[in-house]
């Protein structure tokens, strides 16, 4: 997997214990062999770090951080990593076509007591060609400037391939894929999206393959040493 770089972006709002456990898990499953570029609001020790200062947590700034990181990438593909998500090695092995954003939809949410699943494409599970990410986001930011973002309430500033029509931008291709093992995102208050409410449509499990018991995983990642 010499053709992919991991871009990790964070607003440094979560606890240091949780953040370090997440990052250590990435290093463990990749054996530290994949290049990592981290874009953070405060300095961190994770791959090559780009500290952009405390610019504020928002969808606008999330995609700015991704773009800043992408411009430093030397490989053909990028995997986007968020500071509250856990991955498996299989996830990083997927490659979409050169004109397509791919999203792993085998992503479960971790609550304090259980896992719950709803099919949704999220940027934290995106794998895409480097040139496509740069081209798509540069075009977006050429239209929606930082000054504009400060004056208006941004809508539809989401994953590439979902809202281009609403934003008045050229449509880009997207696709879904599913790893055999699930990936995870923690359902916690400091996250930008906030705590998601479980609905009757969600599938709920207390145990998942590889990850084990949800309550034990939550406590270990939030308060323990992150070992599984």
- Residues 75 and 37 sit within 8 Å (Cβ to Cβ): no
Under the banding of pLDDT at 50, 70 and 90, the label for residue 162 is very high
212 bridge partner residues: 208
103 burial (CB, 10 Å; 0-12 / 13-18 / 19+) is: buried
- Residue 61 domain-assigned? yes
Residues 6-15 have a mean pLDDT of 96
Under the banding of pLDDT at 50, 70 and 90, the label for residue 192 is low
Query: How do residues 66-106 score in pLDDT, each as one tens digit?
Result: 999 999 999 999 999 999 999 999 999 999 999 999 999 99
Structural domain count, the chain = 1
Length of the chain: 228
pLDDT of residue 193: 64
- Residue 145 domain-assigned? yes
More confident residue, 29 or 199: 29
Structural domain containing residue 183: 4-223
Q: Which two tokens stand for residue 37?
A: 């570029």
- Residue 69 domain-assigned? yes
- Residues 34 and 5 sit within 8 Å (Cβ to Cβ): yes
Rounded to two decimals, the pTM is 0.93
- Residue 228 domain-assigned? no
Under the banding of pLDDT at 50, 70 and 90, the label for residue 134 is very high
- Residues 196 and 120 sit within 8 Å (Cβ to Cβ): no
Tell me how far apart the alpha carbons of residues 133 and 67 are, in angstroms, rounded to a whole number.
Answer: 7
Tell me how far apart the alpha carbons of residues 13 and 19 are, in angstroms, rounded to a whole number.
Answer: 9
Q: Which two tokens stand for residue 151?
A: 């004056």
- Residue 195 domain-assigned? yes
Q: Which of 35-49, 175-189, 191-205 has the highest mean pLDDT?
A: 35-49
State the CATH number of the domain containing residue 44: 3.90.550
Under the banding of pLDDT at 50, 70 and 90, the label for residue 62 is very high
Which of 44-48, 115-119, 127-131, 146-150 is predicted with the least confidence, judged by mean pLDDT?
Answer: 146-150
- The 3-state secondary structure of the chain reads CCCEEEEEEECCCCCHHHHHHHHHHHHHHHCCCCCEEEEECCCCCCCEEEECCCCCCCHHHHHHHHHHHHCCCCCCEEEEEECCEECCHHHHHCCCCCCEEEEECCEEEECCCCEEECCCCCHHHEEEEHHHHHHHHHHHHHHCCHHHHHHCCCCCCCCCCCCHHHHCCCCCEEEEECCCCCEEEECCCCCCCCCCCCCCCCEEECEECCCEEHHHHHHHHHHCCCCC
Query: How do residues 174-183 score in pLDDT, each as one tens digit?
Result: 999 999 999 9
Q: Average per-residue pLDDT in the chain? A: 93
- Residue 84 domain-assigned? yes
Tell me how far apart the alpha carbons of residues 81 and 71 are, in angstroms, rounded to a whole number.
Answer: 16
- Residue 136 domain-assigned? yes
More confident residue, 154 or 41: 41
Tally the C-alpha atoms within 13 A of residue 148's C-alpha that lie toward its C-beta: 10
């Amino acid at each position: 997997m010499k053709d992919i770089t991991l871009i990790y972006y964070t607003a440094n709002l979560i606890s240091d214990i949780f953040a370090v456990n997440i990052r250590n898990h990435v290093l463990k499953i990749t054996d530290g062999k994949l290049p990592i570029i981290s874009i953070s609001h405060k300095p961190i020790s994770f791959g090559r770090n780009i500290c952009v200062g405390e610019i504020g947590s928002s969808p606008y700034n999330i995609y700015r951080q991704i773009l800043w990181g992408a411009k430093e990438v030397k490989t053909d593909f990028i995997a986007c990593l968020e500071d509250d998500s856990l991955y498996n090695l299989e996830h990083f092995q997927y490659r979409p076509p050169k004109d397509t954003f791919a999203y792993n939809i085998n992503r479960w949410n971790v609550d304090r007591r259980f896992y719950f699943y709803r099919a949704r494409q999220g940027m934290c599970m995106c794998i895409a060609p480097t040139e496509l990410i740069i081209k798509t986001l540069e075009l977006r930011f050429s239209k929606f400037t930082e000054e504009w973002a400060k004056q208006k309430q941004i809508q539809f500033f989401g994953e590439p391939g979902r809202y281009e029509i609403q934003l008045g931008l050229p449509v880009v291709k997207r696709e879904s894929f599913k790893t055999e093992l699930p990936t995870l995102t923690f359902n916690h208050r400091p996250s930008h999206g906030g705590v998601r409410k479980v609905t009757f449509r969600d599938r709920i499990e207390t145990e998942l393959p590889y990850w084990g018991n949800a309550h034990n995983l939550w406590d270990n990642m939030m308060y323990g040493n992150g070992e599984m």
